[in-house]
Chain A
């Protein structure tokens, strides 16, 4: 499971945790998150996210 971080505001999407309050269930892989999805904190689109290295 990977984590992705919004390059604009720093919000982190953790695949393991999903984003249940955004309607994305735990374990959803980033590639399966819809393209129409936007960062809950700043509203940028999926294309503006970048992968964050995890330990």
Chain B
């Protein structure tokens, strides 16, 4: 596909709170899926970066390309039908996309790990959890099975699974949803990676358990000083734990900002729509706000700004020109032609 100049995906911001060196730098990543019905452009030039010890939230509706981005970064994209058509993924300065598969495999799990949404289906149903945890040590550290199992018990303790020693031989279906997600977290933490990508880690859980699991993840992240990429569609989760937010729409980053700036004054109509659609107690009895329309079909993304058919502030230029990334300030960016109006609205 042609690279249109000044693509919206180039919005990139370094957070004011960045504490360490650049850990992961995704640059102009493009992913498409070839299907029988045509080519679905799931990721269209996404750029974001995470520093050591920082938490970045990637926010978006389903189909916005946030999970696909994560899978491409992690190297677990289904190829085919998926295909990375462009961009770079620099991890500690080295491009993962140009690495040999074996080299990349050694990084996976050991230096960057991933937590999935549905722990029940993401854990192997016929292997005891202790073995699934211990496998990390056996494969990456060459540990014996016995030692690995001892480490598995430690890890289960670490994520506060009660009676870890007795439960290490149990199978995933014998645990509750929250406990299973703790096991996923333990698995990701096993080798103390520098970066964890969590793809909607609490979506499949009960609301009461969501907070516990999120708190645990945030706490362990602090303790191990890991970078965290939190992929979510839940604005409530984001506010508590993230340092920065990147908002995705139709495979592009539409706004990127430190979390508090974004909540205080969004610089993109889509972000504003998302914030307005959070139900509020003080508006009880009023109709809930919703962004009108549906997310675009990825096989037929509207020309110009992909959001224009749903945007309350859309004008003619939005229908023809893809908005370039506008630096709002040194830490923020917005891919809206009228970000100023939006910001001061």
Q: Do A and B come from one complex?
A: no
